[in-house]
Amino acid sequence: MSISKSDVERVARLARIGIEPHEAERYSIDLSNILTLVEQMNKIDTEGIQPMAHPQDIQLRLRDDEVKEVNKRDQFQAIAPAVKQGLYLVPKVLD
Amino acid sequence: MPHRQSLSALNRMLATGGISSTEITTHFLDRIEQNQQLNAFVSVDREQTLAQAQQADHSRRNERNSNLKGLPVALKDIFCTQDLLTSCGSRILSNFVSPYDATVVERLDKDGFIVLGKTNMDEFAMGSSNESSYFGPVLNPWNTARVPGGSSGGSAAAVSARLAPAAIGTDTGGSIRQPAAFCGLTGLKPSYGRISRYGMVAYASSLDQAGPITQSAEDAALLLQTMAGFDSRDSTSLDTAVPDYLSALNTGLENVRLGIPKEFLDPSIDAEVLSAIETALEEFEKLGAKLVDIELPNSSAGIAAYYVIAPAEASSNLSKFDGVRYGHRTAEFSDLLDMYEKSRAEGFGDEVKRRILIGTYALSAGYYDAYYLKAQKVRRIIANDFSQAFKQCDLIAGPTTPSTAFPLGENLDDPVSMYLNDVFTVPVNLAGLPAISLPVGFDQSGLPIGLQLIGPYLKEANILSAAHSYQKVTDWHQRIPGDYE
């Protein structure tokens, strides 16, 4: 299956990656080639096979609900692009 | 000269007082400085590293039973460190200093290993040549016109050129074993869950695993011993006892059944690689191993399934890089969406974008069953093939890669041909098994050839002892590239 330029633009929007029109062209070729590779798996009969999400077929571990982590707010905010009064700054979302 | 010694040899020299950690560490820091053309390291802090070495020497003098080894190692720039940049080979993390240490880093520190520096890598561990790094390609010390392999290319080049006695890498589809093969080293990918992934920047969470890139199986055992074990901060970390890998090294190969999958000795692979593998297998036979023909009939579909599963997981894992809490934020933007799109467009390189896009596509409405679910079913079939094979044999052997190190730039414009490099390594990650690559010869142009040994789940000790048996009677693993002797 091939991926068109408009498919690339749609997926890029979903992935929040800005792409230029000339890039969409190139990505549509690259991604189509990758899909051709991927579709080789269609040669394998998977009728009745359970999907394998993970190498370990085990239950996720539960833990007691207790506080273990110390508050590192200041350290986390020290590496942020923009903070003010302990809050992360982003462009205004609501008018 | 310390750089002609293995990590284990340096460990013994330190124990007998024949050399100090400060002497060793200074020597390697000097070599890193003198060999910057390889571009193996992204960040090094000489002063701080030397202070740690002096501290290790001080502890050794004053506490007789100290665990502090004082051995220096290089660390792939994918592990979070509080003291050094953690860039993951990406512009989007090119200003990121982590507020915490990865579990691997804590464990290395607890045993007194000293981090010489953070090594270059393919961006977010996506690549097989180390050419996708924001910090530029790494050169192969055996031939600087060739790639060192990837994604742990900086780690492999550093050990190969003896800028570090050993290094830590990560392996999602071959990223420890393939560069180890290309650089003439021993590279171990442990079983999924054996080493904590906490603080290791995630690429594909159901496949990622940390491991050592070393000069020998003995060195790999030493580092695995330090890094393996349960960690409550990684929900996939295994809560099972860690065996004594070092004492298991001398188990020997007597009556070990070595399965040879005919699919791995495909005539399409490089003839010189094939011949080196065959010679190595004869050596294993002389050591007592029995060769058994086995089948892994669906292994060739591994690459196809991998290039759905890994990008799908990556597209989700990498959505956190948005320029809000840390990392690169674009300078000018009109609104929030524009800020996300521009920060990510500027922050990620081509290969990372391709994989995020293909992963997003495979997970998007209408395509999920045809791609993601199908790939997960193929994954099960490939894992089942390994289980069947291990009923007939104890370990599986074959080439690590279809060719030796390829020229820089050769596969850059053709992502699919780059992906095919991992045809023998990817199925192992899909099944979550442990595997090692060890050097077994050179091609006519002097490039190293690697043999892969795959074991059943959690049987790292068996793989290491098989590799060690071979290394006791051969010297491929002791060869050093001419310019770095």
- Token pair of B483 as six digits: 């310019």
- Token pair of B148 as six digits: 């060192």
- What is the pLDDT of chain B when averaged over all its residues? 96
A83–chain B Cβ distance below 8 A for any pair = no
Q: Whole-angstrom Cα distance, residue B247 to residue B50?
A: 32
Q: Count Cβ neighbours within 10 Å for each residue of B200-218 and write b for 16 or more, e otherwise.
A: bbbbbbbbbbbbbbbbbbb
Query: Is residue B421 within 8 Å of B126, Cβ to Cβ?
Result: no
Question: In this structure, is the dihedral angle defined by the CA atoms of residues A82, A87, A88 and A94, taken in order, positive or negative?
Answer: negative
Determine the residue among A28, A34, A71 to mutate to test chain B binding: the one whose Cβ has the most chain B Cβ atoms within 10 Å.
A34
DSSP class per residue in B119-148: EP-SGGG--SSS-S-TT-PPPBTTBTTB--
Query: Is residue A93 within 8 Å of B333, Cβ to Cβ?
Result: no
* HSE (side-chain half, CA atoms, 13 Å) at A60: 7
Superfamily of domain B2-256+474-484: Amidase signature (AS) domain (3.90.1300.10)
A76–chain B Cβ distance below 8 A for any pair = yes
Q: Whole-angstrom Cα distance, residue A94 to residue B3?
A: 60
The H or E element that residue B209 is part of is strand B209-214
**Interchain contact, B324 vs A80, CB within 8 Å:** yes
Q: Whole-angstrom Cα distance, residue B458 to residue B237?
A: 12
- Token pair of B386 as six digits: 């390994």
Concerning whether B387 is annotated as a catalytic residue, the answer is no
B324–chain A Cβ distance below 8 A for any pair = yes
Q: Where are the domains of chain B?
A: 2-256+474-484
- Token pair of B373 as six digits: 């679910």
Q: What is the pLDDT of residue B64?
A: 59
| Closest residue in A to B418 (Cα–Cα) | A34
Query: Closest approach of chain B CAs to the CA of A3, in angstroms?
Result: 9
Query: Is residue B404 within 8 Å of A78, Cβ to Cβ?
Result: no
Q: Where are the domains of chain A?
A: 5-42
Count other Cβ atoms within 10 Å, centred on residue B452.
27
Query: Closest approach of chain A CAs to the CA of B424, in angstroms?
Result: 16
Assign a CATH topology to domain A5-42: Histone, subunit A (1.10.20)
- Write the pLDDT tens digit of every residue in B136-150: 999 999 999 999 999
Residue with structure tokens 């070990």? B256
- Write the pLDDT tens digit of every residue in B176-199: 999 999 999 999 999 999 999 999
- Write the pLDDT tens digit of every residue in B367-414: 999 999 999 999 999 999 999 999 999 999 999 999 999 999 998 889
- Write the pLDDT tens digit of every residue in B245-285: 999 999 999 999 999 999 999 888 999 999 999 999 999 99
Residue with structure tokens 């910057």? B36
- Token pair of B231 as six digits: 């960690």
Residue with structure tokens 């020997």? B252
* HSE (side-chain half, CA atoms, 13 Å) at A69: 8
Quote ipTM for the complex: 0.95
Q: Whole-angstrom Cα distance, residue B314 to residue B90?
A: 14
Q: What is the pLDDT of residue B441?
A: 98
